[in-house]
């Protein structure tokens, strides 16, 4: 060992070999903490764990090559082979799983659980990522919960979103204050806000969709320029644009561009009977189109109720994420004993 190492316990083949400037540390495992520099309060366990890492403070890392070549880690817990390897400037975070958060950059208050969860991501703040490849390669994610294989993978600029399901909110950008439940829900979405999407492929590829609700397979699919609209049913409101609409049933409102419409298609029917450009219309089954004015108050009531429900859901989900993050970070910030504060194995 080099000089100025302070209270180090080194166990295993060449553990802590050539370390320098390390205080209150415990190193265990083949080449664990090799060339570790300028660090304090560190526990590293596993072959080549924290190998050539620098500036680790109050860190626990367990697993082969965990935090290898990492730098600027503070208040971090890493469990798993290659977990947080090559990561830079990460604070108050927990990473669990093989390759989890490997390559993570400029992030804080992150919980990543699952193989390659949050791998190669950057700019994450107050994020919970659970699932294989969840949040992989994304950037600019704030105050969000992402659960499912590849949930939000390849996405950027997501604010206050909750995604549950494989590929939910995947490869999306500029999505805010929204909830996606189901495989591929809100996938490829762009410039979307205040949306609830429930069901596989709901609100997929949507652009400029705001204050709307999608329920059912591919409802609001490929919608563009949609505001305060409800689509419920198979392909309901797909390829649709407009404002203040309610479309319920198989393909209700599909391909329609218009405002203040209501369409409810009877069971067994599968096509919209509204014209491609319709305004102030009501259609129930095959009944004749009638003026919409008598039902405008009902539409507004439904939309306001939906907005309030979404806000309550987001608030409850955000509270759950904060509690989970606080619990995990308390583990990360736990102080080692006065005589044994850094471990490398």
pLDDT tens track, the chain, 345 positions = 444 555 555 555 666 666 667 777 777 777 777 777 888 888 888 888 888 888 989 889 898 888 989 999 999 999 999 999 999 999 999 999 999 999 999 999 999 999 999 999 999 999 999 999 999 999 999 999 999 999 999 999 999 999 999 999 999 999 999 999 999 999 999 999 999 999 999 999 999 999 999 999 999 999 999 999 999 999 999 999 999 999 998 899 999 999 999 998 865 566 677 778 889 888 887 544 444 444 555 566 566 656 666 667 667 767 766 776 676 666 656 544 443 343 333
pLDDT, position 339:
39
pLDDT, position 268:
57
Q: Tokens in use for 317?
A: 């989900």
pTM reported for the whole predicted model: 0.81
pLDDT, position 289:
46
> What is the rounded distance in angstroms from the CA atom of residue 237 to the CA atom of residue 206?
11
Instruction: Give the dihedral of Cα atoms 175, 179, 180, 186; nearest 10 deg.
Output: -20
Instruction: Print the SS3 string covering the chain.
Output: CCCCCCCCEEECCCCCCCCEEEEEEEEECCCCCCCCEEEEEEEEECCCCCCCCEEEEEEEEECCCCCCCCEEEEEEEEECCCCCCCCEEEEEEEEECCCCCCCCEEEEEEEEECCCCCCCCEEEEEEEEECCCCCCCCEEEEEEEEECCCCCCCCEEEEEEEEECCCCCCCCEEEEEEEEECCCCCCCCEEEEEEEEECCCCCCCCEEEEEEEEECCCCCCCCEEEEEEEEECCCCCCCCEEEEEEEECCCCCCCCECCCCEEECCCCCCCCCCCCECCCEEEECCCCCEECHHHHHHHHHHHHHHHHHHHHHHHHHHHHHHHHHHHHHHHHCCCCECCECCEEC
Placement of tokens 């919960």 in the chain: 145
Gyration radius of the chain's alpha carbons: 25
- 221 alpha-carbon distance from chain centroid: 21
Maximum separation of any 2 CA atoms in the chain, in Å? 89
Which of 300-308's residues contact partners 24+ apart within 8 Å by CB, and which partners? 300/244, 302/230, 302/246, 303/211, 303/228, 303/230, 303/244, 306/196, 306/213, 306/230, 307/194, 307/211
Instruction: Give the dihedral of Cα atoms 18, 20, 22, 27; nearest 10 deg.
Output: 0
Q: Tokens in use for 228?
A: 């305060």
Smallest Cα–Cα separation from 42: which of 31, 54, 53, 56? 56
């Amino acid at each position: 060992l080099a000089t100025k190492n302070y209270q180090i316990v080194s166990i295993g083949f060449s553990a802590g070999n050539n370390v320098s400037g390390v205080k209150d540390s415990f190193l265990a495992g083949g080449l664990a903490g090799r060339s570790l520099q300028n660090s304090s309060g560190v526990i590293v366990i596993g072959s080549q764990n924290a190998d050539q890492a620098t500036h680790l403070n109050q860190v626990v890392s367990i697993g082969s090559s965990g935090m290898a070549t990492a730098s600027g880690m503070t208040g971090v817990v890493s469990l798993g082979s290659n977990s947080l390897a090559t990561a830079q400037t990460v604070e108050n975070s927990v990473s669990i799983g093989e390759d989890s958060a490997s390559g993570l950059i400029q992030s804080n208050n992150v919980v990543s659980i699952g193989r390659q969860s949050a791998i190669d991501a950057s700019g994450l703040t107050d994020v919970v990522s659970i699932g294989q490849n969840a949040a992989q390669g994304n950037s600019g994610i704030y105050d969000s919960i992402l659960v499912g294989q590849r949930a939000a993978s390849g996405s950027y600029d997501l604010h206050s979103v909750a995604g549950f399901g494989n590929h939910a909110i995947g490869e999306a950008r500029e999505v805010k204050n929204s909830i996606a439940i189901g495989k591929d829900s809100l996938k490829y979405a762009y410039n979307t806000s205040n949306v609830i999407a429930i069901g596989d492929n709901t609100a997929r590829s949507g652009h400029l969709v705001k204050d709307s609700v999608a329920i059912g397979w591919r409802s609001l699919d490929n919608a563009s320029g949609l505001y305060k609209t409800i689509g419920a049913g198979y392909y309901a409101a797909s390829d649709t644009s407009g404002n203040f609409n309610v479309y319920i049933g198989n393909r209700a409102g599909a391909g329609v561009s218009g405002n203040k419409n209501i369409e409810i298609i009877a069971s067994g029917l599968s096509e919209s009977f509204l014209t491609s450009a319709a305004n102030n219309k009501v259609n129930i089954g095959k009944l004749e189109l009638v003026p919409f004015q008598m039902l405008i108050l009902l539409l507004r009531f439904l939309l306001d109720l939906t907005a309030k429900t979404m806000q309550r859901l987001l608030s409850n989900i955000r509270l759950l994420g904060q509690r989970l993050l606080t619990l995990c970070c308390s583990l990360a910030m736990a102080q080692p004993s006065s005589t044994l504060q850094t471990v490398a194995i």
